[in-house]
Amino acid sequence: MNQHIPYKIYLEEQEMPSSWYNVRADMKVKPAPLLNPATGKPLSVEELSPIFCEELAKQELDNDTAYVPIPDEIRSFYKMYRPSPLVRAYCLEKKLKTPAHIYYKFEGNNTSGSHKLNSAIAQAYYAKKQGLKGVTTETGAGQWGTALSMACSYFDLDCQVYMVKVSYEQKPFRREVMRTYGAKVTPSPSMETAIGRKINEEFPGTTGSLGCAISEAVEAATSQEGYRYVLGSVLNQVLLHQSIIGLETKAALDKYGIKADMIIGCAGGGSNLGGLISPFVGEMLRGEADYQVIAVEPASCPSMTRGKFAYDFCDTGKVCPLAKMYTLGSGFIPSANHAGGLRYHGMSSIVSQLYADGLLEARSVEQTAVFEAAEMFARVEGILPAPESSHAIRVAIDEALRCKETGEEKNIVFGLTGTGYFDMVAYEKYNNREMSDYIPTDEDIAKSLASLPVIPE
Amino acid sequence: MNQHIPYKIYLEEQEMPSSWYNVRADMKVKPAPLLNPATGKPLSVEELSPIFCEELAKQELDNDTAYVPIPDEIRSFYKMYRPSPLVRAYCLEKKLKTPAHIYYKFEGNNTSGSHKLNSAIAQAYYAKKQGLKGVTTETGAGQWGTALSMACSYFDLDCQVYMVKVSYEQKPFRREVMRTYGAKVTPSPSMETAIGRKINEEFPGTTGSLGCAISEAVEAATSQEGYRYVLGSVLNQVLLHQSIIGLETKAALDKYGIKADMIIGCAGGGSNLGGLISPFVGEMLRGEADYQVIAVEPASCPSMTRGKFAYDFCDTGKVCPLAKMYTLGSGFIPSANHAGGLRYHGMSSIVSQLYADGLLEARSVEQTAVFEAAEMFARVEGILPAPESSHAIRVAIDEALRCKETGEEKNIVFGLTGTGYFDMVAYEKYNNREMSDYIPTDEDIAKSLASLPVIPE
């Protein structure tokens, strides 16, 4: 194919996928089921339904349906910002003097600033369809809370966000975006829930944690008539919705006859990575193609590269079900790494199983190297990347430089999950050369892993 | 034409205009020339060249060339974020229940967050081509400084930004974006220039003003070997570069056989408005078509609706040439209006002349009404607009509601110049219902206009 490849490949509106792809249908070894921590038994749709919307509980447990049609109402919303562009990084290639061809799927072209909106709108839709009044959730860095606020505003649903207190105070802009979209944003721990009051009493002046915010959001959902709890990553349903990233990426590559050699994504809970790689891994599982798939995680929170594949709580507060995943232990406290969205102790069960089965590799990278890549990318490609996304940029650059040594013209595809406009405090630290790296010791990790839950027989 | 119009009309890369359009070539009454304040005589290219790059000085004075080819290097950069989408606001139409069709040209899809990048990259290119070491400029709200930083980083030019001290301190994120792109950002007034030291001495503790920052930037440019001063609005050259907005808008409309009835843009110095309307006004000037063109300005800084068409200084510091424009007087201090980019006492000479000749109308709108429109737009269209852009949204909504009354299916086109991610302090005020309106009294304006410069005979 000698045709010119434009800087940005935009699919036409009618080329947007009409179904999500459920990679579980093609997995020989299915991801392990969520367990009830009290009984050690797999959770049923009925057991999940008091917490999750019913349709979402069904999606969570459905390991068989390969293609799930995207409802028209969700497609209409998607059309406001999708198909998102697949960008040929001509300027980055030139800067690196690499023979590799670099492409990135850019998910930051919407006001939430990240891919999170893809699942937020789906979850809000099913909540509305079920006749609910609203949903509750937690947010740390704020990307998920922003996306959910936008989605709820669109469907006129009440949105209650428990925002980790330290972020609530230090990230007032994120908070105000959510409020502009009509969300009620509460600093966590609050005095509005029993668990919040208890924590405030035990730890006066605490600035909160994601685990605590999850606990409050779950309590708020289950204690209010017509509310359910929603989550922006880790879950199977979220990866299903995020498959639109990978489907569009593949459609855009196919349109120009490009065969990806390598697919790179940053990995926190796995929502972006799982969505990006699903259709490609599906081909691998069906024996139709082969790709090198790389998950990139921060060296400060290395769940895949240094964690254990075991059942663990999804949350620090231990109110959620048990999931089998690569984990550092639900009590693992990552150091102050600015890629807030990657500070998660575990990894989606789907991604974990694929990793265990050798379908993808994992790498960890250090923060300063990530910001170095982010700065270079911003300067040549004109997009200020989110710190999370910049983990993938780092490895894409490393691989492109390797191609320079070997002379290989590889097609490198990576996911650029979002923009860094609300992460300027981290950039400021980097600009001032005040940023440092932190890698947990083996002892840190062993200590945290020692308290993995015991599954009742 | 009954074909389906997509949510977003993206022109193909090869459909991007290859020339800028200079509306001056079609104007019967040319915009009045810049004058040397000392002599009262029109400035020549030679006189402008110590301050501006030579090619830009030529563009500034060229009233004849209708189409100026866009150099390939600039086109390559444009391709990273252009053609920008023309969006059909289906969701806003539905929300308003209007028979009108609303379209907006979205210029916020790049990291600078606004249309300013279109001229920044052109000015940086000509500076590089002339063999300069760098450029200096001032920035208030920070959009222009950000755009220029990105452009200079791309061409490896030194970039020195004098940022109004109050913004430097209150908008640390904007400052850090500029620094990430390698710019040197100095709070103004500084101790680095003679004028800065003088002001600091006379007014200890001053938080600065745009006028002062301009004076410092001009001094820095003229006192360093290989530097020139660049400006992001008002000038003829800037409107030339920004014509790409209007050219793409027209091409996208033509592609789908849509005839605009009304074109609406916000107006501060006129860079966006002038660029958006140029090709349409060109058709009007040549007698080929007719449009209703509306410039929207803040009621707190109403240069067109309440100012005087006269020669005035472009800057508060009175170091720049005189321009004939609608002005409130260069000493006019707008109240604390959050649309920082619209807080300018004057208006581009081109836009002013077109307004004087009846080719466009002007309206002023109040801040709270603007944020009300911004909030509605954000919630239904999924884009958080800049306060500046929201002035155009306000009038587009008003006109769409008028169509609802009359039943007219008008095609309303407006310019969405940028995003509001760095304006959350203003949104917070609105969210907290702490925002108020301010309209200058007739006495305020008369007082400010009383000190218009006297032109030497």
The pLDDT tens digits for B251-266 are 999 999 999 999 999 9
Strands (E), A16-155: 19-21, 67-69, 86-88, 101-106, 134-139
Q: Does A382 touch chain B (CB under 8 A)?
A: yes
Task: Encode pLDDT of A303-324 as tens digits.
Answer: 999 999 999 998 777 878 899 9
Which residues, numbered 384 to 423 in chain A, qualify as contacts with chain B under a Cβ-Cβ cut-off of 8 Å? 384, 419, 421-422
B interface test, pick of A11, A424, A430, A434 with most B CB neighbours within 10 Å: A424
B203 touching A, CB under 8 A? no
Instruction: Give the per-residue pLDDT at A141.
Output: 80
Q: Is the pLDDT of residue B340 over 80?
A: no
Least Cα distance to A118 among A291, A241, A267 occurs for A241
Q: Note whether A382 contacts B77, CB cutoff 8 Å.
A: yes
Q: How far apart are CA A236 and CA B55, in angstroms?
A: 58
> In this predicted complex, what is the ipTM?
0.89
Dist. CA B291–CA B249, nearest whole Å? 14
Query: What residues of A are in contact with residue B382 (Cβ under 8 Å)?
Result: 77, 80-81, 110-111, 150, 154
Does the model's pTM come out above 0.90? yes
Q: Å from A430 to nearest chain B CA?
A: 9
A·B CB contacts under 8 A: 120
A186 secondary structure, DSSP code: E
Confidence (pLDDT) at A267: 95
- CB-based contact A378 B111, cutoff 8 Å: yes
Using the structure block, give the residue that is written with the tokens 């694929």: A354
Q: Three-class SS string for B20-60?
A: EECHHHHCCCCCCCCECCCCCCECCHHHHCCCCCHHHHHHH
Average pLDDT over residues B215-227: 94
Tens digit of each residue's pLDDT (9 = 90 or more) over B94-122: 999 999 999 999 999 888 999 999 999 99
Average pLDDT over residues B77-84: 94
Q: Which helix (H) or strand (E) holds A200?
A: helix A194-202
**C-alpha to C-alpha distance for B427 and B434, rounded to whole angstroms:** 10
Q: Which residues are within 8 A (CB) of A350 and not within 5 positions of it... i.e. 6 or more apart?
A: A23, A24, A27, A31, A236, A239, A270, A274
Name every residue whose Cβ is closer than 8 Å to that of residue A24 and which is 6 or more positions away in sequence: A30, A31, A62, A63, A64, A236, A350
Cα–Cα distances in angstroms (integers) from residue A407 to residues A101, A102, A396, A399, in the given order: 12, 14, 16, 12
- The C-alpha of B319 sits at a distance from chain A's nearest C-alpha, in angstroms, of 33
**Which letter does DSSP use for residue B261 in this model?**
S
Q: Which residues of B touch A378 (CB under 8 A)?
A: 111, 180-181
Alpha-carbon distances of A275 from A113, A115, A148, A281, rounded to whole Å? 17, 10, 18, 10
Percent pLDDT > 90 in chain B is 81
For residue A108, give the nearest of A84, A138, A142, A141 by alpha carbon.
A84
If DSSP codes are grouped into helix, strand and coil, which group holds residue B99? coil
Position B9, amino acid: I
The predicted model gives B65-87 an average pLDDT of: 96
Select the residue from A3, A143, A384 to test the B interface by mutation, using most B Cβ atoms within 10 A: A384
In angstroms, the separation between the Cα of residue B439 and the nearest Cα of chain A is 25
Q: What is the pLDDT of residue A1?
A: 47
pLDDT average per 10 residues of sequence, chain A (457 residues): 82 96 98 94 95 96 98 95 96 97 96 95 98 95 94 96 88 91 96 92 86 89 96 95 98 97 96 98 98 96 96 83 94 72 88 98 96 96 94 98 98 97 90 90 94 84
Contacts 24+ apart (CB under 8 A), B323-326: B323/B32, B323/B34, B323/B35, B323/B234, B323/B349, B324/B31, B324/B32, B324/B349, B324/B352, B324/B353, B325/B234, B325/B349, B325/B352, B326/B352, B326/B355
Put simply, whether A182 touches B (Cβ < 8 Å) is: yes
CA dist., res. B349 & res. A396, Å (int): 48
The answer on pLDDT for B231 being more than 90 is yes
Distances (CA, A) of A309 to A302, A334, A347, B280, B303: 12, 18, 10, 63, 66
Q: What residues 96-125 of chain B have any CB closer than 8 A to a CB of chain A? A: 109-111, 113
Contact B382 A177 (CB under 8 A): no
Taking contacts as CB-CB distances below 8 angstroms, the residues of chain B near A383 are 110-111
Q: Is B455 touching A (CB cutoff 8 A)?
A: no
Cβ contacts of B6 on chain A, cutoff 8 Å: 12-13, 79
Residue B424 sits at the chain A interface (C-beta within 8 Å): yes
CA–CA gap between residue B376 and residue B435 (Å, rounded): 17
Q: What are the pLDDT digits (tens) for B411-431?
A: 999 999 999 998 888 899 999
Nearest residue, CB atoms, B431 vs list A176, A378, A380? A176
Q: Which residue of A has its CA nearest to B156?
A: A379
State the Cα–Cα distance between residues B400 and B403, nearest whole angstrom.
5
Instruction: Tell me the CB-side half-sphere exposure of residue B105, using CA atoms within 13 A.
Output: 32
- Interface test with chain B among A116, A176, A381, by most B beta carbons within 10 Å: A176
Residue of B nearest to A429 (CA): B176
For residue A176, give the nearest of B111, B176, B427 by CB distance.
Answer: B427
Residue A76 CB contacts under 8 Å (≥ 6 apart), including other chains? none
Measure the N-to-C terminal CA separation of chain B; round to a whole number of Å. 58
Mean pLDDT of B374-389: 94
Q: CA-CA distance, A255 to B410, in Å (whole number)? A: 37
Collapsing DSSP to helix, strand or coil, B300 comes out as: coil
Q: What is the DSSP string of A391-422?
A: HHHHHHHHHHHHHHHHT---EEEEEE-BB-TT
Q: What is the distance between the alpha carbons of residues A212 and A168, in angstroms, rounded to a whole number?
A: 14
* Dihedral sign computed on CA atoms, order A104, A109, A110, A113: positive
Compute the mean pLDDT over every residue in chain B, rounded to the nearest whole number. Answer: 94
Residue type at B65? T
pLDDT for position A340:
66
Instruction: Find all residues with CB under 8 Å of B433, minimum gap 6, and list them.
Output: none
Spatial distance between the Cα atoms of A304 and A442, rounded to a whole number of angstroms: 14
Which residues does B297 contact at the CB level (< 8 Å), separation at least 6? B266, B267, B268, B303, B304, B305, B342, B362, B363, B364, B365, B391
Q: Is B176 on the interface with A (CB under 8 A)?
A: yes
> Cα(B53)–Cα(A380) distance, rounded to whole angstroms?
24
Residue A398's CB: how many other CB atoms inside 10 A? 16
Collapse the DSSP code of A178 into the 3-class scheme (helix H, G, I; strand E, B; otherwise coil) and give the result.
helix
Instruction: Give the N- to C-terminal CA distance of chain A in Å, as an integer.
Output: 58
Residue A335: CB atoms within 10 A of its CB come to 16
Residue A379 touches chain B, beta carbons under 8 Å: yes
Most A CBs within 10 A among B92, B114, B143, B177, hence the mutation to make, goes to B177
Contact B91 A80 (CB under 8 A): yes
Kindly give the pairing relationship between strand A134-139 and strand A227-229.
Answer: parallel
